[in-house]
A and B are shown apart, each in its own frame.
Chain A
Amino acid sequence: MSDRVLSSHEAVAAPRQGTSAPWIWASASFLLVIGLTVATWWLNKTVPSWNKQLRVIEFPVYAVALGLLANGLLSLLGIRDRLVAYFRTEFFLKTGLVLLGASINLAEIVAFGAKGLVQAVILISSVFLFTWYVARWLGVEEKLRALLSASVAICGVSAAISAAGAVLAKKEQLAYVTGLVILFALPLMFFQPALAVWLNLSPEVAGAWIGGNIDTTAAVVGAGSIHSQQALKVASIAKLSQNALIGVVAFLLALYWVVVVERNPGQRPSAWQIWERFPKFVLGFILASIVVTLGLANGWIVKATVRDLQRLREWFFIAAFLSIGYGLSVSGLRDAGWRPIAVYSLATVFNTVVALAAAWAIFG
Protein backbone atom coordinates (compact mmCIF):
# COMPACT_ATOMS: atom_id res chain seq x y z
CA MET A 1 0.00 0.00 0.00
CA SER A 2 1.43 3.37 -0.96
CA ASP A 3 1.83 6.14 1.58
CA ARG A 4 -0.09 8.59 -0.60
CA VAL A 5 -3.76 8.86 0.16
CA LEU A 6 -4.95 10.12 -3.11
CA SER A 7 -2.86 9.51 -6.16
CA SER A 8 -4.77 8.50 -9.26
CA HIS A 9 -1.69 6.79 -10.71
CA GLU A 10 -1.07 4.47 -7.73
CA ALA A 11 -4.75 3.63 -7.86
CA VAL A 12 -4.29 1.99 -11.24
CA ALA A 13 -1.76 -0.40 -9.77
CA ALA A 14 -3.53 -1.13 -6.49
CA PRO A 15 -6.35 -3.42 -7.76
CA ARG A 16 -3.78 -5.77 -9.32
CA GLN A 17 -2.29 -6.39 -5.87
CA GLY A 18 -5.74 -7.17 -4.53
CA THR A 19 -6.72 -9.59 -7.28
CA SER A 20 -3.40 -11.42 -7.04
CA ALA A 21 -4.30 -12.52 -3.50
CA PRO A 22 -6.31 -15.74 -3.13
CA TRP A 23 -10.05 -15.11 -3.05
CA ILE A 24 -10.25 -16.24 0.54
CA TRP A 25 -7.89 -13.47 1.69
CA ALA A 26 -9.77 -10.91 -0.39
CA SER A 27 -13.08 -12.02 1.16
CA ALA A 28 -11.54 -11.90 4.64
CA SER A 29 -10.24 -8.39 3.93
CA PHE A 30 -13.69 -7.27 2.79
CA LEU A 31 -15.30 -8.69 5.94
CA LEU A 32 -12.60 -7.09 8.10
CA VAL A 33 -13.27 -3.64 6.61
CA ILE A 34 -17.03 -4.07 7.10
CA GLY A 35 -16.59 -5.36 10.69
CA LEU A 36 -14.20 -2.59 11.72
CA THR A 37 -16.42 0.05 10.07
CA VAL A 38 -19.45 -1.16 12.03
CA ALA A 39 -17.36 -1.26 15.25
CA THR A 40 -16.21 2.34 14.68
CA TRP A 41 -19.75 3.49 13.94
CA TRP A 42 -20.91 1.83 17.19
CA LEU A 43 -18.14 3.50 19.23
CA ASN A 44 -18.90 6.89 17.66
CA LYS A 45 -22.56 6.51 18.54
CA THR A 46 -22.16 4.96 21.99
CA VAL A 47 -19.18 6.70 23.66
CA PRO A 48 -20.82 10.21 23.74
CA SER A 49 -23.81 8.67 25.57
CA TRP A 50 -21.45 7.75 28.44
CA ASN A 51 -20.29 11.34 28.78
CA LYS A 52 -21.59 14.27 26.71
CA GLN A 53 -18.21 15.99 26.70
CA LEU A 54 -16.81 13.08 24.75
CA ARG A 55 -18.94 13.98 21.73
CA VAL A 56 -16.16 16.28 20.56
CA ILE A 57 -14.11 13.14 19.87
CA GLU A 58 -15.25 12.43 16.33
CA PHE A 59 -15.19 9.23 14.30
CA PRO A 60 -11.69 9.71 12.76
CA VAL A 61 -10.16 9.12 16.20
CA TYR A 62 -11.95 5.79 16.73
CA ALA A 63 -11.40 4.77 13.11
CA VAL A 64 -7.65 5.46 13.05
CA ALA A 65 -7.26 3.80 16.48
CA LEU A 66 -9.10 0.63 15.40
CA GLY A 67 -7.22 0.60 12.09
CA LEU A 68 -3.91 0.85 13.98
CA LEU A 69 -4.99 -1.87 16.39
CA ALA A 70 -5.87 -4.21 13.51
CA ASN A 71 -2.61 -3.24 11.83
CA GLY A 72 -0.59 -4.18 14.95
CA LEU A 73 -2.45 -7.41 15.76
CA LEU A 74 -2.45 -8.76 12.21
CA SER A 75 1.20 -7.80 11.77
CA LEU A 76 2.01 -9.88 14.85
CA LEU A 77 0.10 -12.78 13.31
CA GLY A 78 1.98 -12.20 10.04
CA ILE A 79 -1.17 -11.82 7.89
CA ARG A 80 -1.54 -8.05 7.68
CA ASP A 81 -0.33 -7.70 4.10
CA ARG A 82 -2.57 -10.52 2.88
CA LEU A 83 -5.64 -8.70 4.21
CA VAL A 84 -4.86 -5.33 2.66
CA ALA A 85 -6.97 -5.65 -0.52
CA TYR A 86 -10.13 -3.80 0.59
CA PHE A 87 -8.54 -1.09 2.72
CA ARG A 88 -8.99 1.40 -0.12
CA THR A 89 -8.35 4.83 1.37
CA GLU A 90 -8.53 6.71 -1.92
CA PHE A 91 -11.81 5.20 -3.07
CA PHE A 92 -13.54 5.60 0.30
CA LEU A 93 -12.37 9.19 0.78
CA LYS A 94 -13.27 10.41 -2.69
CA THR A 95 -16.68 8.70 -2.72
CA GLY A 96 -17.30 10.25 0.69
CA LEU A 97 -16.27 13.63 -0.67
CA VAL A 98 -18.77 13.42 -3.54
CA LEU A 99 -21.42 12.55 -0.93
CA LEU A 100 -20.20 15.50 1.15
CA GLY A 101 -21.07 17.70 -1.83
CA ALA A 102 -24.65 16.42 -1.55
CA SER A 103 -24.90 17.85 1.97
CA ILE A 104 -23.75 21.32 0.92
CA ASN A 105 -26.78 23.46 0.22
CA LEU A 106 -25.43 26.50 -1.58
CA ALA A 107 -28.66 28.35 -0.77
CA GLU A 108 -27.63 28.36 2.89
CA ILE A 109 -25.05 31.01 2.06
CA VAL A 110 -27.91 33.17 0.82
CA ALA A 111 -30.18 32.21 3.73
CA PHE A 112 -27.74 33.59 6.28
CA GLY A 113 -27.65 36.75 4.22
CA ALA A 114 -24.83 38.95 3.05
CA LYS A 115 -23.51 39.22 6.62
CA GLY A 116 -22.75 35.50 6.86
CA LEU A 117 -21.13 35.40 3.43
CA VAL A 118 -18.98 38.45 4.20
CA GLN A 119 -17.86 36.89 7.50
CA ALA A 120 -17.13 33.52 5.85
CA VAL A 121 -15.12 35.06 3.00
CA ILE A 122 -13.12 37.34 5.35
CA LEU A 123 -12.31 34.49 7.74
CA ILE A 124 -11.53 31.83 5.15
CA SER A 125 -9.25 34.05 3.08
CA SER A 126 -7.43 35.76 5.97
CA VAL A 127 -6.97 32.62 8.10
CA PHE A 128 -5.98 30.48 5.11
CA LEU A 129 -3.31 32.95 3.97
CA PHE A 130 -2.03 33.55 7.53
CA THR A 131 -1.67 29.81 8.17
CA TRP A 132 -0.11 29.23 4.74
CA TYR A 133 2.60 31.88 5.23
CA VAL A 134 3.33 30.99 8.88
CA ALA A 135 3.70 27.33 7.83
CA ARG A 136 5.97 28.34 4.95
CA TRP A 137 8.03 30.50 7.31
CA LEU A 138 8.44 27.52 9.65
CA GLY A 139 9.42 25.27 6.76
CA VAL A 140 6.37 22.97 6.82
CA GLU A 141 6.08 20.79 3.69
CA GLU A 142 3.67 22.31 1.15
CA LYS A 143 0.99 19.56 1.12
CA LEU A 144 0.84 19.55 4.90
CA ARG A 145 0.69 23.35 4.69
CA ALA A 146 -2.39 23.14 2.45
CA LEU A 147 -4.13 20.71 4.84
CA LEU A 148 -3.37 22.85 7.89
CA SER A 149 -4.53 26.04 6.17
CA ALA A 150 -7.79 24.52 4.90
CA SER A 151 -8.64 22.85 8.20
CA VAL A 152 -8.15 25.97 10.35
CA ALA A 153 -9.73 28.32 7.82
CA ILE A 154 -12.87 26.37 6.91
CA CYS A 155 -14.23 23.52 8.95
CA GLY A 156 -11.72 21.09 10.34
CA VAL A 157 -11.98 17.46 9.35
CA SER A 158 -14.07 17.80 6.16
CA ALA A 159 -11.86 20.62 4.90
CA ALA A 160 -8.70 18.65 5.67
CA ILE A 161 -10.11 15.68 3.72
CA SER A 162 -11.08 17.91 0.76
CA ALA A 163 -7.65 19.56 0.75
CA ALA A 164 -5.97 16.14 0.96
CA GLY A 165 -7.87 15.15 -2.17
CA ALA A 166 -7.03 18.37 -3.95
CA VAL A 167 -3.25 18.20 -3.35
CA LEU A 168 -2.80 14.39 -3.21
CA ALA A 169 -1.51 14.41 0.37
CA LYS A 170 0.03 11.50 2.28
CA LYS A 171 -2.21 9.51 4.60
CA GLU A 172 0.04 10.34 7.56
CA GLN A 173 -0.45 14.04 6.85
CA LEU A 174 -4.22 13.68 6.88
CA ALA A 175 -4.16 11.62 10.09
CA TYR A 176 -1.86 14.18 11.74
CA VAL A 177 -4.00 17.20 10.80
CA THR A 178 -7.25 15.45 11.77
CA GLY A 179 -5.73 14.69 15.18
CA LEU A 180 -4.76 18.35 15.62
CA VAL A 181 -8.25 19.55 14.62
CA ILE A 182 -9.93 17.37 17.23
CA LEU A 183 -7.32 18.11 19.90
CA PHE A 184 -7.72 21.87 19.51
CA ALA A 185 -11.53 21.79 19.30
CA LEU A 186 -11.90 20.30 22.78
CA PRO A 187 -10.51 23.21 24.91
CA LEU A 188 -12.07 25.80 22.57
CA MET A 189 -15.50 24.26 23.09
CA PHE A 190 -15.38 25.22 26.78
CA PHE A 191 -13.09 28.25 26.67
CA GLN A 192 -14.87 30.25 23.97
CA PRO A 193 -18.43 30.39 25.38
CA ALA A 194 -16.97 31.27 28.83
CA LEU A 195 -14.93 34.06 27.27
CA ALA A 196 -18.00 35.28 25.33
CA VAL A 197 -19.90 35.59 28.64
CA TRP A 198 -16.93 37.34 30.28
CA LEU A 199 -16.72 39.80 27.35
CA ASN A 200 -20.48 40.35 27.67
CA LEU A 201 -21.09 39.61 23.99
CA SER A 202 -24.64 39.45 22.67
CA PRO A 203 -25.84 35.92 21.70
CA GLU A 204 -25.62 36.87 17.99
CA VAL A 205 -22.00 38.07 18.24
CA ALA A 206 -21.05 35.12 20.47
CA GLY A 207 -22.66 32.67 18.03
CA ALA A 208 -21.00 34.23 14.97
CA TRP A 209 -17.67 34.14 16.82
CA ILE A 210 -18.03 30.50 17.85
CA GLY A 211 -19.19 29.41 14.37
CA GLY A 212 -16.43 31.39 12.70
CA ASN A 213 -13.66 30.06 14.89
CA ILE A 214 -14.18 26.50 16.14
CA ASP A 215 -13.29 23.97 13.49
CA THR A 216 -15.39 20.87 14.09
CA THR A 217 -19.16 21.00 13.76
CA ALA A 218 -19.65 18.90 16.92
CA ALA A 219 -17.60 21.35 19.00
CA VAL A 220 -19.45 24.32 17.44
CA VAL A 221 -22.76 22.80 18.54
CA GLY A 222 -21.27 22.05 21.99
CA ALA A 223 -19.90 25.58 22.48
CA GLY A 224 -23.05 27.25 21.11
CA SER A 225 -25.32 25.29 23.43
CA ILE A 226 -23.09 26.07 26.45
CA HIS A 227 -23.62 29.80 25.73
CA SER A 228 -27.31 30.06 24.74
CA GLN A 229 -29.93 28.77 22.31
CA GLN A 230 -29.68 31.92 20.16
CA ALA A 231 -25.87 31.64 20.06
CA LEU A 232 -26.23 27.98 19.06
CA LYS A 233 -28.52 28.93 16.17
CA VAL A 234 -26.25 31.69 14.86
CA ALA A 235 -23.11 29.55 15.38
CA SER A 236 -24.60 26.64 13.41
CA ILE A 237 -25.58 28.89 10.50
CA ALA A 238 -22.19 30.66 10.51
CA LYS A 239 -20.52 27.24 10.36
CA LEU A 240 -22.79 26.17 7.48
CA SER A 241 -21.83 29.32 5.55
CA GLN A 242 -18.16 28.37 5.86
CA ASN A 243 -18.82 24.70 5.05
CA ALA A 244 -20.67 25.74 1.90
CA LEU A 245 -17.45 27.25 0.57
CA ILE A 246 -15.45 23.98 0.87
CA GLY A 247 -16.07 23.15 -2.79
CA VAL A 248 -14.82 26.55 -3.94
CA VAL A 249 -11.65 26.22 -1.84
CA ALA A 250 -11.03 22.61 -2.96
CA PHE A 251 -11.47 23.65 -6.61
CA LEU A 252 -9.08 26.62 -6.31
CA LEU A 253 -6.55 24.57 -4.34
CA ALA A 254 -6.58 21.73 -6.89
CA LEU A 255 -6.16 24.22 -9.73
CA TYR A 256 -3.31 26.02 -7.93
CA TRP A 257 -1.57 22.70 -7.30
CA VAL A 258 -1.78 21.59 -10.90
CA VAL A 259 -0.96 24.94 -12.51
CA VAL A 260 1.62 26.35 -10.07
CA VAL A 261 3.08 23.80 -7.63
CA GLU A 262 3.41 20.73 -9.85
CA ARG A 263 4.32 22.36 -13.13
CA ASN A 264 7.74 21.76 -14.64
CA PRO A 265 10.04 24.77 -14.28
CA GLY A 266 9.80 27.11 -17.25
CA GLN A 267 6.94 25.14 -18.79
CA ARG A 268 3.33 26.21 -18.99
CA PRO A 269 0.99 23.22 -18.52
CA SER A 270 -1.41 22.59 -21.38
CA ALA A 271 -5.17 22.50 -20.84
CA TRP A 272 -5.01 18.70 -21.29
CA GLN A 273 -2.30 18.31 -18.61
CA ILE A 274 -4.35 20.43 -16.22
CA TRP A 275 -7.41 18.28 -16.89
CA GLU A 276 -5.44 15.05 -16.55
CA ARG A 277 -4.00 15.95 -13.16
CA PHE A 278 -7.05 17.71 -11.80
CA PRO A 279 -8.76 15.61 -9.06
CA LYS A 280 -12.09 14.64 -10.61
CA PHE A 281 -13.89 14.17 -7.30
CA VAL A 282 -14.05 17.99 -7.08
CA LEU A 283 -16.35 17.94 -10.11
CA GLY A 284 -18.52 15.21 -8.53
CA PHE A 285 -18.62 17.24 -5.30
CA ILE A 286 -19.74 20.42 -7.09
CA LEU A 287 -22.28 18.58 -9.27
CA ALA A 288 -23.81 16.82 -6.22
CA SER A 289 -23.97 20.15 -4.40
CA ILE A 290 -25.72 21.90 -7.31
CA VAL A 291 -28.27 19.06 -7.73
CA VAL A 292 -29.14 19.05 -4.01
CA THR A 293 -29.33 22.86 -3.82
CA LEU A 294 -31.70 22.99 -6.81
CA GLY A 295 -33.70 20.02 -5.49
CA LEU A 296 -34.21 21.56 -2.06
CA ALA A 297 -35.07 24.94 -3.57
CA ASN A 298 -37.68 23.42 -5.90
CA GLY A 299 -39.09 20.96 -3.37
CA TRP A 300 -38.27 17.72 -5.20
CA ILE A 301 -35.80 16.75 -2.47
CA VAL A 302 -36.70 16.61 1.21
CA LYS A 303 -34.23 17.27 4.02
CA ALA A 304 -34.54 13.67 5.24
CA THR A 305 -32.94 12.52 1.97
CA VAL A 306 -29.99 14.84 2.57
CA ARG A 307 -29.63 13.42 6.09
CA ASP A 308 -29.59 9.87 4.65
CA LEU A 309 -26.76 10.89 2.31
CA GLN A 310 -24.90 12.53 5.23
CA ARG A 311 -25.05 9.27 7.19
CA LEU A 312 -23.87 7.33 4.15
CA ARG A 313 -20.98 9.78 3.76
CA GLU A 314 -19.98 9.12 7.36
CA TRP A 315 -19.77 5.36 6.65
CA PHE A 316 -17.41 6.04 3.74
CA PHE A 317 -15.26 8.40 5.79
CA ILE A 318 -15.10 5.86 8.64
CA ALA A 319 -13.89 3.19 6.17
CA ALA A 320 -11.35 5.71 4.80
CA PHE A 321 -9.89 6.57 8.21
CA LEU A 322 -9.80 2.87 9.14
CA SER A 323 -7.77 2.27 5.98
CA ILE A 324 -5.49 5.16 6.97
CA GLY A 325 -4.95 3.60 10.41
CA TYR A 326 -4.35 0.19 8.81
CA GLY A 327 -1.60 1.55 6.59
CA LEU A 328 -0.23 4.21 8.93
CA SER A 329 3.47 4.51 9.38
CA VAL A 330 4.49 5.87 12.77
CA SER A 331 7.74 7.16 11.29
CA GLY A 332 5.66 9.11 8.73
CA LEU A 333 3.85 10.83 11.61
CA ARG A 334 7.13 11.48 13.39
CA ASP A 335 8.58 13.02 10.22
CA ALA A 336 6.03 15.84 10.44
CA GLY A 337 7.67 16.96 13.72
CA TRP A 338 6.57 19.74 16.03
CA ARG A 339 6.21 22.51 13.45
CA PRO A 340 2.60 21.75 12.41
CA ILE A 341 1.58 22.00 16.09
CA ALA A 342 3.19 25.45 16.31
CA VAL A 343 1.47 26.50 13.07
CA TYR A 344 -1.90 25.22 14.25
CA SER A 345 -1.53 27.01 17.60
CA LEU A 346 -0.62 30.35 16.00
CA ALA A 347 -3.36 29.97 13.38
CA THR A 348 -5.95 29.20 16.07
CA VAL A 349 -4.99 32.33 18.03
CA PHE A 350 -5.17 34.41 14.83
CA ASN A 351 -8.52 32.84 13.88
CA THR A 352 -9.93 33.53 17.37
CA VAL A 353 -8.97 37.21 17.22
CA VAL A 354 -10.06 37.83 13.61
CA ALA A 355 -13.34 35.91 14.11
CA LEU A 356 -14.11 38.02 17.19
CA ALA A 357 -13.36 41.26 15.31
CA ALA A 358 -15.44 40.14 12.30
CA ALA A 359 -18.37 38.95 14.45
CA TRP A 360 -18.36 42.18 16.47
CA ALA A 361 -18.09 44.42 13.37
CA ILE A 362 -20.70 42.53 11.34
CA PHE A 363 -23.20 41.35 13.97
CA GLY A 364 -22.56 43.79 16.82
Chain B
Amino acid sequence: MALEEKGTRGISRLFTEDWLAVVAGLGLVALGLAGILKHIP
Protein backbone atom coordinates (compact mmCIF):
# COMPACT_ATOMS: atom_id res chain seq x y z
CA MET B 1 0.00 0.00 0.00
CA ALA B 2 1.33 3.43 -0.93
CA LEU B 3 2.40 5.57 1.97
CA GLU B 4 0.10 8.38 0.84
CA GLU B 5 -2.88 6.02 0.72
CA LYS B 6 -1.97 4.65 4.15
CA GLY B 7 -1.78 8.17 5.55
CA THR B 8 -5.15 9.17 4.13
CA ARG B 9 -6.79 6.05 5.52
CA GLY B 10 -5.21 6.75 8.90
CA ILE B 11 -6.56 10.28 8.97
CA SER B 12 -10.05 9.30 7.83
CA ARG B 13 -10.08 6.57 10.46
CA LEU B 14 -9.16 9.11 13.09
CA PHE B 15 -12.20 11.18 12.20
CA THR B 16 -14.81 8.44 12.20
CA GLU B 17 -18.07 9.32 13.89
CA ASP B 18 -17.12 6.80 16.56
CA TRP B 19 -14.31 9.04 17.77
CA LEU B 20 -16.15 12.24 16.92
CA ALA B 21 -19.00 11.14 19.21
CA VAL B 22 -16.56 10.35 22.03
CA VAL B 23 -14.91 13.77 21.69
CA ALA B 24 -18.27 15.57 21.43
CA GLY B 25 -19.78 13.58 24.32
CA LEU B 26 -16.82 14.09 26.66
CA GLY B 27 -16.57 17.74 25.56
CA LEU B 28 -20.22 18.29 26.50
CA VAL B 29 -19.67 16.49 29.82
CA ALA B 30 -16.72 18.82 30.49
CA LEU B 31 -18.84 21.88 29.62
CA GLY B 32 -21.59 20.57 31.87
CA LEU B 33 -19.20 20.04 34.76
CA ALA B 34 -17.84 23.56 34.21
CA GLY B 35 -21.41 24.82 34.73
CA ILE B 36 -21.79 26.16 31.19
CA LEU B 37 -24.78 23.96 30.22
CA LYS B 38 -27.21 25.11 32.88
CA HIS B 39 -30.99 25.17 32.48
CA ILE B 40 -31.27 22.86 29.49
CA PRO B 41 -35.01 22.36 28.89
Q: Which residues does A use to contact B, with CB under 8 Å?
A: 8-9, 11-12, 14, 41, 88, 90-91, 93-99, 101-102, 279-281, 283-284, 287-288, 291-292, 295, 301, 304-305, 308-309, 311-312, 315
Asked if A308 and B29 sit within 8 Å, CB to CB, the answer is no
Chain A residues within an 8 Å CB radius of B24:
91, 95, 98
With both beta carbons as reference points, the residue of chain B lying nearest to A12 in the complex is identified as B12
How many angstroms from the CA of A185 to the CA of B41 in the assembled complex? 26
- B38 contacts across to A, CB distance below 8 A: 304, 308
User: How far is it, in angstroms, between the C-alpha of A280 and the C-alpha of B16 when the chains are bound?
Assistant: 10
A-B contact pairs, 25 of them (CB 8 A): A11-B16, A11-B18, A41-B41, A91-B17, A91-B20, A93-B21, A94-B17, A94-B22, A95-B28, A96-B25, A280-B22, A281-B22, A281-B25, A284-B22, A284-B26, A287-B26, A288-B25, A291-B29, A291-B33, A305-B33, A308-B39, A308-B40, A309-B32, A312-B28, A312-B37
Checking A91, A308, A315 against B21 with a beta-carbon cut-off of 8 angstroms, the contacting residue is A91
- Asked if B33 and A95 sit within 8 Å, CB to CB, the answer is no
Total A-B residue contacts, Cβ distance less than 8 Å: 91
Nearest B-chain residue to A92, judged by Cβ? B21
Q: Which residue of B lies closest to A13 (CB)?
A: B12
Number of interface residues of B (CB under 8 A): 23
The listed residue with most A CB atoms (<10 A of its CB), out of B12, B13, B32, B35, is: B32
Quick check: B33 and A301 within 8 Å, CB to CB? Answer: yes
Beta-carbon nearest neighbor of B30 in chain A: A291
**CB atoms of A14 and B25 under 8 A apart:** no
Q: A8 to B38, alpha carbons, bound, how many Å?
A: 32
Which of B12, B17, B26, B40 is close to A90, meaning CB atoms less than 8 Å apart?
B17
Best-surrounded residue of A14, A101, A305 (most CB of chain B within 10 A)? A305
CA distance A90 to B26 in the complex (A): 16
Residue of A nearest to B13 (CB): A12
List, in ascending order, chain B residues with CB within 8 A of A288's CB. Answer: 25-26, 29
Which single member of B16, B28, B35, B41 contacts A12 (CB below 8 Å)?
B16
Measured CA separation A280–B13 after assembly (Å) = 12
CB of A302 to closest CB in B, whole Å: 9
Task: Tell me the bound Cα distance from A91 to B32 in angstroms.
Answer: 19
Selected from B17, B18, B25, the residue in CB contact (under 8 A) with A99 is B25
A88 touches B17 (CB 8 A): yes
Contact check, A315 vs B22: say whether CB atoms are below 8 A apart.
Answer: no
Measured between beta carbons, the chain B residues less than 8 angstroms from A309 are 28-29, 32, 37
Shortest CB distance A88–B (Å): 7
Specify which chain A residues have a CB less than 8 angstroms from the CB of B20 in the assembled complex.
Answer: 91
**A265 and B12 alpha carbons, distance in the complex (Å):** 28
B40 to chain A, nearest CB (A): 4
Contacts of A8 in B (CB 8 A): 16-18
CB distance from A174 to the nearest CB of B (A): 16
Cα A97 to Cα B28 with chains together (Å):
12
